[in-house]
Structure 1
Amino acid sequence: MYLHNRLYQPLAQIDDAAWQTLLERHGFWEEFGVMLDADHQDIAFHILMHEGEIAHSKTMADANFEFDAVAISSEVFKDPVLCEQIDRWSAMHAANYGCGVTTKMGLYVVRAGGTLGFHVDGPVFLRGARVDLSLEPIQRGLMEAQASHRTILPLRFNPEDDFMLCGYRAPLKRGELFEFSNVLPHAYFNKGTEHTVLLVTTYLQEDLLPAEATYAGAAAIPQAVTEPIQ
């Protein structure tokens, strides 16, 4: 039995007006969706930041960062307001978690009627795939999964959608930033008529890593910029 408060932890109430304005300005999140199999239908992960760098410096379509990643046009990243907002969001995580790096940030879109089936994130897969735990990349991935924070800010969603963590239907609230354990099975089922847009951020907290594991460019931001939920 899982304790719900260990699966889903509200962090702060956020004014999401800046993100909503950017969604209105840029329509890339409405235009794409991939259908991989019965468990992954009409979904897209649009990467905004990777390893502390805004994603315009990467060739996202060819980089194979995520099995369902969908590239954003380089023209979108010419918007200085978007780039500033990405940097501010990353800095907010550094302010609240301490020294570290935003390893990945993006907009996860589950289109109307789409499905993101149960899965776990990281180098060990849900369906019993065998993994050689002696491999350095696998060990590094496991270490990073334990030292990372995964936060979600729901920007758009349908009230009838199901965001499932293990067997628990997690509540989604407009403007409520929350953290959840992405190494446990989770899924999203869009049961409405509108696209779901979730701002998903993975932040690697440096002081949770072994002493010998460091990340160049990771720096602490001294002051938090969110207000805690009362």
Structure 2
Amino acid sequence: MHRFKGRVGLCAMVALGVVTACGGSPDPARPAGEKQQEQQAASRSGEASPGEDRAVTWANDYCGAVSELVRSVSEMPIIDASSPRRASETSGELLKVMVGGLDRTLDRLDNLGAPPVDGAERVRRDAVATYADIREHAQAALSELSAAEGPEASRDAVSSVRKPLDDLGGVDLLAGFDTVPALQEASRQAPACRTLTDADPDPRIDSPGS
């Protein structure tokens, strides 16, 4: 499991150059065979096609979205069990940070550009469902903490924090990428994805207490 200990800063906005045909619109008089030869030559020379660039940009934006959650986890306080009151207070602080990170991740996933390849939308949709479910449990635990009255109720509420933490710790941050070869290849070129996979090709979060 990849342990994200220190704050993992998001990569700065990277201007990914899109390779386009030289100047203006294509010349309709040029033979199709000539165009195909040029495309093959470009491929052999290592130049990416516009479609490949779109996949890299999309993957980078996706990884930037989940990096919001990584950053929030690095900012979560440790639950202080020195007293029931402190355990309740610090659990509430932890959940607020978690919910905030999940909100930012979900917002960015909801605003990703058009899927560049078949399968990309499925990956995005599954991630949204996963993070939305974790957020729902985290918010429910936070509400339970806020409503708890008395030591016993507070202890029960603090115990409810475990589920969203465990769920978060089990998430593969790039889940589904390995089922879409074009996305998996794009993630190897996307700076934000490389930050996540630098120490582990299957990055996960070790959340506080998980």
TM-score normalised by length of structure 2? 0.23
TM-score normalised by length of structure 1? 0.22
More strand by proportion, 1 or 2? 1
More helix by proportion, 1 or 2? 2
